[in-house]
Structure 1
Amino acid sequence: MKIEVFDLKNAQLRYVPDFFNSEEANFYFERLQQEIPWKQDKIKLFGKEHFQPRLSSFFAEQDVNYAYSGLELKPKDFSEEILQIKKSVEKFSRLTFNSCLANLYRDGQDSMGWHSDNEKELGENPVIASVSYGAERIFHLKNKIDKNLKEKISLAHGSLLLMEGATQHNWKHQLPKTKKNIGPRLNLTFRKIY
């Protein structure tokens, strides 16, 4: 298993492009697209409501709630497949997670804007474990203070990206739109919510 470590200022990133082999990745990609109850939520940005440019669904242990951008997420129980993926991520990272935000980017026009996962319920230095299936997309990072510090990572089918340490305090990240004619990408982000 190949592990890439990104040496960024005040951030710790580990990327495993082949965390799941192609057969496993294909299985989870197809199964999760079909089984997850996808919906398009509205979020508040600068006082106005907008539909998110992607579909999503939230899974967590009982009594776990999560909110961002004026959106309160009510959790569904983990599916068998999401639990299997979570256990694999936990074994590798040696951490435990109690929630999973699933996002479906239907094509290159679906996106995620600049943000940090730094909500207070995630604790001091949250670890975000991001698993990707489907079309490869470019993930952007930029330092909050030094705008010249930037990084791009191409997130492959079946890959795992771990954002650790003080990454969420010091960096923002996004998944921008692309004009390329690409298929859907499914992303699972695992978090520990307190």
Structure 2
Amino acid sequence: MMLQGSLLDLDQPTAYADLGEIHRTELRDGAWVDHLPAWMSGSDQLFDDLLRDVPWRADKRQMYDRVLDVPRLTRFYGEDEPLPHPLLSVARDMLSAHYLPELGEDFATAGLCLYRSGSDSVAWHGDRNGRSSTQDTMVAILSLGTPRVLALRPRGGGPTEHKFSLGHGDLVVMGGSCQRTWEHCVPKTSAVVGPRISVQFRTLGVR
């Protein structure tokens, strides 16, 4: 699917590759991960637009007896909120159409995370708030900017079993029981890396 850059004030044409080319990795316990490198070409301009235009927020989190800064910036867009860029609406609609026979519903929300440097991260977790604590679901992630590792391991700990280096328009979709039976993280890195934005598309009632 091609969108002409001139229609969206982009400096270059932007294309989404055919989702039929996506590769699936079967995990244990009914979980799976789909991966399509460079799903979105010409993604650097979208990264710049989101970096500039999204009203990023710095959150804090209670950890035992301390309140700590969340090591990334975030912005969540609910089902009735317009997304911050037309190309994200196109991505959401393409994913909904492709996965509808398997998922049974559309992707409805988008959570954005900005990893400013290698010091920003997200700890091991599963997206189990809401329906996903008891039901299979899908979380689709479009990655923009500098590649960072997304690591996966079975729930409960143990070594990393799968790693995906995601950036510059790469797509990964975690499905089946993945949010209940596996955990994922974006680990810190001591390497000098540039910023990355991840866009997580989810169904209603899943966080």
Please give the TM-score of this superposition, normalised by the length of structure 1.
0.84
What residue in structure 1 maps to residue 82 of structure 2? Answer: 77
Match in the other structure for 1:89: 95
Matched residue SS, 1:41: strand
Higher relative contact order (CA 8 A, sep 6+): 1
Distance (whole Å) between structure 1 residues aligned to residue 52 and residue 91 of structure 2: 16
Q: What secondary structure is seen at the aligned counterpart in 2 of 1:96?
A: coil
CA contact (8 A) 1:141 1:173 kept: yes
* Pairing 1:164-175 to 2, within 5 Å after superposition: 164-175=175-186
Alignment partner of 2:56 out of 34, 38, 42: 38
Q: Which residue of 1 aligns with 2:34?
A: 14
Task: Tell me how far apart the structure 1 counterparts of residues 27 and 79 of structure 2 sit (CA, whole Å).
Answer: 33
1:146 to 1:45, Cα distance in 2 relative to 1, 3 A: closer
- Equivalence map 1:97-176=2 (5 Å): 97-122=107-132, 124-145=135-156, 147-148=158-159, 150-176=161-187
Residues 79-119 of structure 1 deviation map (CA, whole Å, 9 limit, x = unaligned): 34332232232233335111111000011111000111011
| Larger Cα-atom Rg | 2
The one of 23, 45, 63 equivalent to 1:4 is 23
Contact 1:107 1:183 in 2 (8 A): yes
Q: Does 1:52 align with 2:70?
A: yes
Range 27-36 or range 157-166, more displaced: 27-36
Corresponding residue for residue 192 of structure 2: 181
Structure 2 Cα separation of the partners of residues 149 and 61 of structure 1: 33
RMSD: 1.9
Checking the alignment, whether the CA contact within 8 Å between 1:56 and 1:102 is kept in structure 2 is yes
Whichever residue aligns with residue 39 of structure 2, its letter is F
Q: Which moved more, 1:167-176 or 1:139-148?
A: 139-148
Q: C-alpha displacement at 1:168, in angstroms?
A: 0.9
CA shift, 1:47, in A, is 5.3
Identity within the alignment, %: 27
The one-letter code sitting in structure 2 at the alignment partner of 1:4 is H
Task: Classify the secondary structure of the residue corresponding to 2:97.
Answer: helix
Contact kept in structure 2, 1:118 and 1:126, CA below 8 Å: no
Question: Structure 2 length normalisation: TM-score?
Answer: 0.79
CA distance, structure 1, for counterparts of residue 67 and residue 131 of structure 2: 23
Q: Which amino acid aligns with 1:85?
A: A
C-alpha displacement of 1:50: 1.5
Structure 1 window deviating more from structure 2 (162-171 vs 78-87): it is: 78-87
Q: Distance in 2 between matches of 1:38 and 1:149?
A: 30
Q: In 2, Cα distance between the equivalents of 1:153 and 1:31?
A: 25
- In structure 2, the residue corresponding to 1:140 is in which secondary structure? strand
